[in-house]
Structure 1
Amino acid sequence: MQDGQTFFSLNKPLDWEQGYEANIHMQEHGFSIGQTEKYSIHRIVRTDELEGIPTICDMAVGPGRKLILLDEASNVWVYEDESRHRELLFRQGHHLFSNQAMLASMSDLLVIADANPASERRLAVYAISNGQTMWALNEWDGLELFPLSVNTKLASATTLYTTVPLDISVGMNGNPEVPQGGRIGIIAWNAAGEVMQVYEHEAHRLEAASEITALHSRYFTAAAEGTLALLDAKLRTVTIFHEDGRDPLHFKLEQEGRFAGISIDTNHNLFIGDSGYAQQEGVTERFILKYRGNGEQMDKVTGFRGRTDKLLHDGRNRLYVFDRISGQISMLDLRARTMLLEDTQLPEAVYFSAELDTTETELEWHKIRLEADIPEETQVRFSYFASDESEGLVDGDYVSYTSYFTDPGIPVHTKLTATRDLWSEPILNPKDALLMNARGRYLWFKIELIGSEQKSPFIRKLRVYYPRTSLIAYLPPMYQQDAEHSPFLERFLAMFSTFFDDMEDKIDHISAHFDPDAVSGTYLEWLGRWLAITDHEAWGEVKLRKLIKQAPELYKLRGTREGLINMVKIYTGSEPFLLEYFQFKQMQETSELRQLFAQLYGDNPYCFCLMLKPEFVRTDAQRMTIEQIIEDHKPAYTEGKLIVLQPWMYADMHTYLGINTYLSEPTLLTLDQRSSMPYNTVLIDIDRDKRMDIHTRLGLDSEIE
């Protein structure tokens, strides 16, 4: 309908990269507003829902995201937060640990560390399923253990880390203490309770002697694959150790706050909590801080505001926040969030194009067609302008339009303000829109994406058509020369023009629907019906596509031995064995084999047997499909039998050496690691076995060891 119409098409990242983008996430098949993941609260476990459980003192995350809780009565509970089901693992009065103990989880093992000098077990590991003790220690290498923090390696949970004093002395009051200059280190244990490594740093020597009890709640550890972090809440420092032997990284926290709790996610980002009191020392907001693995501060976890005593990550990056004062456990999940444009701090993005050059002056541009997904609460705004000149005045300066639009050094806000008079009125959420009053050799356009907190438009493809064509050209001149009504009529006819264009495009590309490699689903089934294939599920797309492609050659061979074998091979993936009467006719004439051959293959000279291994005929549906193939492709006036070969050991059945029957070297029958029976052993007298007075001959079939 519209001869000579051409268009610019932008549908690949390389096409869009010619322009300038701000806050845009470019992908292979289009672009959207930049997205990021931020934590938001998934669920909060409050004290009031833990009926029957005293105040919580510590917690850990066990297998299946179950919460392991230690209460003030020294009970240990296993709590399923979704179903609110709880089980008691340790009941009070066990005398194994105090309510000041610290919990950690190693897969299906529970680690309990207790720095209380009166505790009998300073470090112990128990089975979560039944509370059985796996191992327990009070000292290591002559050093009495006083765990100050405990944690396990994220995701793998095969390594246990405990922060302990490495130098201990007896104070003036007889209590254990760490002397001035005493070392604080981290001991790495494996699941069997063996020490793997000890981590130390000069920054963790005490500036003054201190009792063990005074060091509680000062140190916090976190570990991920290859990374171990130690937080000193008093000095407000973090030390990061590397398992590959690199020098530790030590940095100080510059923010104000009473820091407590540290955790590492699977991307090796650090999260540090704040245990300050909201109504003391002017604290109004308490956030969880986020740092990169190199110590660079990233941002705050704005999805949570509150007190933190302990932070934990699980293998899926869910963050658990424990507030010991309220006994509240907050679970935070990562959720997609639309990024904010830096200039406006709004969830939006802007794209400025480079020039589209037709090389023809005074050309009138026709329309655009935009393929985009535009969810609710989002918008796409398309603006444009055309000119015969590639340069012009912008904000009082004579510049190249393209250079100005694509200059990364000019802020987006400045570009929008300086060029607001150039652009047309924005077209809102366009799919097919005329470009009005767009005349000139060059065209530039601007796309503004307006998103919501979680959603963003997604631009797939843009086409810009030129020159202007319209169905009004097919009407009498009087309709074209009416200056008052022609523009409206042209816009009205443009709707039908789009319909005709789509129809012609489908006709032009109709051949693609006949290409088995290019279609799938219902189109492939439709092609299969051309070959009388109605049971598409039995064939599947891969086999059906192969059949359609080979159909011309297969139908030339229809009714022949080769054609039938090829059809069955396409369906099963294995070449069948086909036996015809003439192949065994001479052997059947031998009198002693006549009955056997009649039993196996029949005595009808117009009957043939098609044999397949059992792994290719697993179901009745497959058997019926193969039988139908045989029926459809066998020669006229013949009968075909399907035989599924079984692994026989009978010489007079369908037993074919190397096909479904194999001979192997004789081997010993091994009873256990120390006993075996030779291959010439015969077992007899079953009813008399295990009797010492019958068939028991020393030195022959019995020995004394």
Structure 2
Amino acid sequence: MSRAVKFFSFNKPSDWESGTTANMSIGGDGLSVERTEKYSFYRTINAGGIDGADAMADFALGPGCRLYVLDAKAALWVYDYESRHTELLYPAGHQVFSRKAMLAAEGDALYIADPGSDKRVLSVSPSNGQLVWALDDWRGQELFPLCVAVDAGKRLYAAIPLDYAYDADGCAEVPSGGRIAVVRWNVSGGAERLFEQEALRLEEAAPVAALHNRFFLTVTAGDMPVLLDAHTRRVMAFGADETPEACRPDPNGTLAGLAADSRGALYIGDARKGASVEDERFILKYKGRDEPPVKVAGYRSRADKLLCDEADRMYAADLEKGTITILELQSRTRTMPETSLPEAWYVSGEVDSAEDETVWHKLELLAEIPEETQIRISYFATDETMGVLDGKVVDYTDYFADPTLSLKHKWTASRHLWSEPIVNPRDALLMNAKGRYLRFRLELAGSDRSAPVVHRLRLFFPRQSPIVHLPPIYREDPDGSGFLERFLAIFGTFFDEMEEKIDKISSSLDPDSVSGSYLKWLSGWLALDVADGWEEERVRALMTQAPELYKLRGTRQGLARMLHIYTGVEPYIVEHHQLKHMQETSELKSMFSRLYGDNPYGFCVMMPPECVRTDKQRLMVERIIADQKPAYTDGRLIVLQPWMHADMHTYLGINTVLSEPTLLTLDQRSSMPHHTVLIDKDRDKRMDLHTRLELDSELD
């Protein structure tokens, strides 16, 4: 007699968490390779595409898809790169600032800094170029902005020399040991704070003009200014709780451009010239002071200026080519550090069958396997919990869970235990898997953009093969029986799936367990004509009450319940015999005949307007009335209107309310109610004029 088949199922995060993983994410959907966000090419903006603009000299980010572009003739342009709409904010020859000006912008704030103009720092309106405020000095000294940046609060930051003197030619010069600091102004032009560090001093004297393009400034999400000195290759952070040196840039390349994303990472560009270094220039990402930089592989070109917007899109300007390249964060498969490949490994804990010499049957895998990806499964079974690995006796559970050993090392040391991998199985026999304890290993190989996802894994035991139903002669030859067993396993899977569907057929007949087109198909079993106008919850309620509705079909109660299920509102049904005693006078008879008809076998169904908002709903209600009424009767739908009108369907408490009129009194805290009566109070209490007992008149 065959034994009952059992299985272990892995389909919840708690099931998978007992194993050991490498570069693998465990979530509600199952197992997959870890993902990360990487910058990829999105769009290139060419300064030549801006009508009328000269070579690009600087740029800043505006709201939405707008850019502020300064050209070589000091003209300032507003350019929308999505619609390609261009506006000229300052024409060439305006003499407000020069081509060496520096731009910074956030939202509706636009700042222009130019150490060679009369006004060194300007705040202008980006809509019409109107000057908001201007500065030309700092604490009584001449102001020389070296680089600028802006934070999310629209406050302006500028690096300036604090120590300088004038030479014989009248040119400003910063002496050796001269201090460089960062000043912050608010949106009104008021100086708020000075950021200084003792370590930030010039090692050699230099003219102020020579410091142009040496310093680069950015502001992190925490309003912390960070300054790059491209000459000394130092990055200085000015936060109160930060170390003076934010990161250590790579010694290669010509540093230029500094940007910070919303997560605090810093990006530094490479401004080396020449075609020979075309493939060697990268934007470098720095996460922390002691962490090595990561190359942004999506961009290999000169970067004179870097900016990040609020969505962490990166804008890299190559002034040599006159282009702005936009990089966008996109989800990518993370590579495993041990192999540098987009893959993940998983080694399960021991699966205990509770019986020695268990012959494991098969596995079933429910997974999504996109093209160019792969799932490989290996396993081994044993009755022992200990074995020899790395030349010593170890406990398998402790060994595979040891965090000090890499999964690659564990795999190499235990390679002789594992079976040959099964590639992309949906279901597969577990050959030569005999033992109480079973362990399995998953290898998920992905591509750069996609990776397989394992939703569920089932391990069946003990072995139940259809070969036991064949004559014993088919099991006498071990080699032949092995092939025949594998061949019959194909049909065994079909039988198992069929039996599982049969076991679950009851749930398919439950209206609460099905939905969509299958729910409507199931309603046809009860001869219910459900059209598209029925909501699923109302269809379920209809199917639940169908036995009682069939008993009430053709009755007033049955029609009212059917309409209540569809609309959720109790209908008002008026039959002809209810009005018979009201039609004794000729005046009422003509009115009732017009309102309700004169058919003695007719009736009216009145519904509020919210139940029949569309023509489809109206047709469905009329269809229900026609289907549920007795064959010899005539049913008519009347949609009540929410107002009172003489000689029409006006019903107190249903669509009409009578209220006591009130006198009109208006002041700053009052309004006119809908039941207000306008009268002349001076003419109250007179016969034939505004005489209303208990309201404006009384009897003594």
TM-score (norm 1): 0.83
The structure-2 alpha-carbon separation of the partners of 1:254 and 1:151, relative to structure 1 and needing over 3 Å to count, comes to closer
Find the residue that maps to 1:538 and give its secondary structure.
coil
Q: State the alpha-carbon separation in 2 of the partners of residues 314 and 308 from structure 1.
A: 17
The answer to whether the 8 Å contact 1:121/1:136 transfers is no
Q: State the alpha-carbon separation in 2 of the partners of residues 260 and 681 from structure 1.
A: 82
Q: Which residue of 2 aligns with 1:237?
A: 235
Structure 1 residue corresponding to 2:300, chosen from 293, 296, 305: 305
Offset of 1:618 from its aligned partner? 1.9
Offset of 1:279 from its aligned partner? 8.8
Q: Which residue of 2 aligns with 1:12?
A: 12
Offset of 1:579 from its aligned partner? 4.0
Q: Which residue of 2 aligns with 1:401?
A: 396
Q: State the alpha-carbon separation in 2 of the partners of residues 121 and 601 from structure 1.
A: 86
Q: Which residue of 2 aligns with 1:267?
A: 263
Offset of 1:55 from its aligned partner? 0.9
Offset of 1:665 from its aligned partner? 6.2
The structure-2 alpha-carbon separation of the partners of 1:101 and 1:651, relative to structure 1 and needing over 3 Å to count, comes to farther
Offset of 1:87 from its aligned partner? 4.5
The answer to whether the 8 Å contact 1:123/1:147 transfers is no
Offset of 1:120 from its aligned partner? 5.2
Q: State the alpha-carbon separation in 2 of the partners of residues 627 and 443 from structure 1.
A: 65
The structure-2 alpha-carbon separation of the partners of 1:556 and 1:398, relative to structure 1 and needing over 3 Å to count, comes to farther
Match of 1:115, as an amino acid? D
Offset of 1:546 from its aligned partner? 3.9
Q: Which residue of 1 aligns with 2:452?
A: 457
Q: Which residue of 2 aligns with 1:471?
A: 466
Find the residue that maps to 1:44 and give its secondary structure.
strand
Q: Which residue of 1 aligns with 2:114?
A: 115
Offset of 1:373 from its aligned partner? 1.3
The answer to whether the 8 Å contact 1:648/1:654 transfers is no
The answer to whether the 8 Å contact 2:157/2:185 transfers is yes
Match of 1:27, as an amino acid? G
Offset of 1:680 from its aligned partner? 4.1
Q: Which residue of 2 aligns with 1:687?
A: none
Q: Which residue of 1 aligns with 2:698?
A: none
Q: State the alpha-carbon separation in 2 of the partners of residues 625 and 575 from structure 1.
A: 16
CA deviation string 1:175-232 (max 9, x = no partner): 6788987673343534xx4659435344587659976645543554444654343324
The answer to whether the 8 Å contact 2:217/2:226 transfers is yes
Q: State the alpha-carbon separation in 2 of the partners of residues 378 and 59 from structure 1.
A: 42
Offset of 1:380 from its aligned partner? 1.2
1:342 pairs with 2:308 = no
The answer to whether the 8 Å contact 2:20/2:347 transfers is yes
Q: Which residue of 2 aligns with 1:187?
A: 184
Find the residue that maps to 2:535 and give its secondary structure.
helix
Q: Which residue of 2 aligns with 1:62?
A: 62
Offset of 1:509 from its aligned partner? 0.6
Structure 2 residue corresponding to 1:639, chosen from 617, 634, 646: 634
Q: State the alpha-carbon separation in 2 of the partners of residues 514 and 609 from structure 1.
A: 37
* Alignment map for 1:519-558 (pairs within 5 Å): 519-532=514-527, 536-558=531-553
1:564 pairs with 2:559 = yes
Find the residue that maps to 2:156 and give its secondary structure.
strand
The answer to whether the 8 Å contact 2:44/2:324 transfers is yes
Structure 1 residue corresponding to 2:130, chosen from 133, 154, 157: 133
The answer to whether the 8 Å contact 1:321/1:331 transfers is yes
* Alignment map for 1:40-439 (pairs within 5 Å): 40-46=40-46, 53-81=53-81, 86-107=86-107, 109=108, 111-119=110-118, 122-128=121-127, 131=128, 133=130, 135-138=132-135, 147-153=145-151, 159-163=154-158, 165=160, 171=166, 184-190=181-187, 193=188, 195=190, 197-198=192-193, 200-203=195-198, 213-223=209-219, 226-233=222-229, 236-239=234-237, 241=239, 247=241, 250-255=244-249, 256=251, 258-277=254-273, 285-292=280-287, 299-439=294-434
The structure-2 alpha-carbon separation of the partners of 1:196 and 1:548, relative to structure 1 and needing over 3 Å to count, comes to farther
Offset of 1:500 from its aligned partner? 0.9
1:489 pairs with 2:488 = no
TM-score (norm 2): 0.83
Q: Which residue of 2 aligns with 1:24?
A: 24
Q: Which residue of 2 aligns with 1:39?
A: 39
Give the root-mean-square deviation of aligned CA atoms.
Answer: 3.8
1:504 pairs with 2:502 = no
The answer to whether the 8 Å contact 1:115/1:145 transfers is no
Match of 1:448, as an amino acid? E
CA deviation string 1:221-270 (max 9, x = no partner): 444654343324256233254xxxx7566424322355433333333433
The answer to whether the 8 Å contact 2:23/2:34 transfers is yes
Q: State the alpha-carbon separation in 1 of the partners of residues 14 and 649 from structure 2.
A: 63
Match of 1:253, as an amino acid? C
Q: State the alpha-carbon separation in 2 of the partners of residues 587 and 142 from structure 1.
A: 97
Find the residue that maps to 2:616 and give its secondary structure.
helix
CA deviation string 1:645-682 (max 9, x = no partner): 333352433344565456686767999x9xxxx98499
Once structures 1 and 2 are overlaid, which stretch shifts more, 485-494 or 301-310?
A: 301-310
Find the residue that maps to 1:433 and give its secondary structure.
strand
The answer to whether the 8 Å contact 1:343/1:412 transfers is no
The answer to whether the 8 Å contact 1:381/1:448 transfers is yes
Is there any run of 5+ residues in structure 2 with no aligned partner, and where?
A: 671-675, 681-700
Once structures 1 and 2 are overlaid, which stretch shifts more, 601-610 or 301-310?
A: 601-610
How many positions carry a matched residue from both structures? 664
Once structures 1 and 2 are overlaid, which stretch shifts more, 450-459 or 5-14?
A: 450-459
Once structures 1 and 2 are overlaid, which stretch shifts more, 464-473 or 401-410?
A: 401-410
Offset of 1:58 from its aligned partner? 1.2
Match of 2:502, as an amino acid? I
The structure-2 alpha-carbon separation of the partners of 1:348 and 1:118, relative to structure 1 and needing over 3 Å to count, comes to closer
The answer to whether the 8 Å contact 2:384/2:437 transfers is yes
Q: Which residue of 2 aligns with 1:629?
A: 624
Find the residue that maps to 2:372 and give its secondary structure.
coil
Q: State the alpha-carbon separation in 1 of the partners of residues 109 and 284 from structure 2.
A: 28
Offset of 1:404 from its aligned partner? 1.6
Once structures 1 and 2 are overlaid, which stretch shifts more, 57-66 or 268-277?
A: 268-277
The structure-2 alpha-carbon separation of the partners of 1:152 and 1:667, relative to structure 1 and needing over 3 Å to count, comes to farther
The structure-2 alpha-carbon separation of the partners of 1:596 and 1:170, relative to structure 1 and needing over 3 Å to count, comes to farther
Offset of 1:98 from its aligned partner? 2.4
Offset of 1:510 from its aligned partner? 1.1
Find the residue that maps to 1:97 and give its secondary structure.
coil
The structure-2 alpha-carbon separation of the partners of 1:545 and 1:161, relative to structure 1 and needing over 3 Å to count, comes to farther
Once structures 1 and 2 are overlaid, which stretch shifts more, 637-646 or 474-483?
A: 637-646
- State, as a whole percentage, how many aligned pairs show the same letter: 46
The structure-2 alpha-carbon separation of the partners of 1:85 and 1:472, relative to structure 1 and needing over 3 Å to count, comes to same
Q: State the alpha-carbon separation in 1 of the partners of residues 97 and 492 from structure 2.
A: 82
Q: Which residue of 2 aligns with 1:653?
A: 648
CA deviation string 1:101-156 (max 9, x = no partner): 3334443x36141324435583233244xx352734336998676554444445xx
Q: State the alpha-carbon separation in 2 of the partners of residues 470 and 50 from structure 1.
A: 74
Offset of 1:318 from its aligned partner? 1.5
Match of 2:428, as an amino acid? A
The structure-2 alpha-carbon separation of the partners of 1:343 and 1:293, relative to structure 1 and needing over 3 Å to count, comes to closer
Match of 2:62, as an amino acid? G
